[in-house]
Amino acid sequence: MLHPAIKPLLFCAALLPAVWLVVAAATNQLGANPAEALIRSTGDWALRALCVVLALTPLRVTFAVPALARWRRMLGLFAFFYAFLHVLSYSWLDMGLDVPDILADIAKRPFILVGTLTFVVLLALAATSFQRAIRALGGKRWQALHRSVYAAALLAVLHFFWMRAGKNNFAEVAVYAAIIAALLGWRLWRRWKA
């Protein structure tokens, strides 16, 4: 049994990167290109939150801590929150909220298209993460929809890979790809073993 204070502490910890980014932006601590720093940082935190969400089930099963399941929704919504900030930063700071330009950029650059698809999946998951949606969809359909978190994680890594491909900088991408491959591999191994 986990202490009840852990969940609010985890909430505050998950919110800290956003608070730091707001403070850094307000005090000009984001470097020479603050827009790029915000876009990259929010994307990084969205991917990190996705990794943490995917890690909860292996940790819950391996260490027999069923209470970890209670954190999935909150951390999943934080993954969406950082993805939303990422899309907002790109749309506002990079594209000036010019919808025709944004649509043209999505069509022109594959990594932006994949990032948009990732956001759409996360949006669907966030919109259906509440009890009313579970009741409306029914348990099986809701579970099937929420398994698309795996697709979101793979698309997010592909988005990151293509974004870094222009600079031939794949070290960080490889770390995230290895983490997600291990987490998805664990699930496949469990299903094959059952």
Show the 3-state SS of the chain: CCCCCHHHHHHHHHHHHHHHHHHHHHCCCCCCCHHHHHHHHHHHHHHHHHHHHHHHHHHHHHCCCHHHHHHHHHHHHHHHHHHHHHHHHHHHHHCCCCHHHHHHHHHHCHHHHHHHHHHHHHHHHHHCCCHHHHHHHCHHHHHHHHCCHHHHHHHHHHHHHHHHHCCCCCHHHHHHHHHHHHHHHHHHHHHHHC
The ranges assigned to domains in the chain are: 6-193
pLDDT of residue 143: 92
pLDDT of residue 177: 96
0.75 surpassed by pTM: yes
pLDDT of residue 94: 94
pLDDT of residue 5: 85
Low-confidence stretches of the chain (pLDDT beneath 70): 1, 194
pLDDT of residue 167: 75
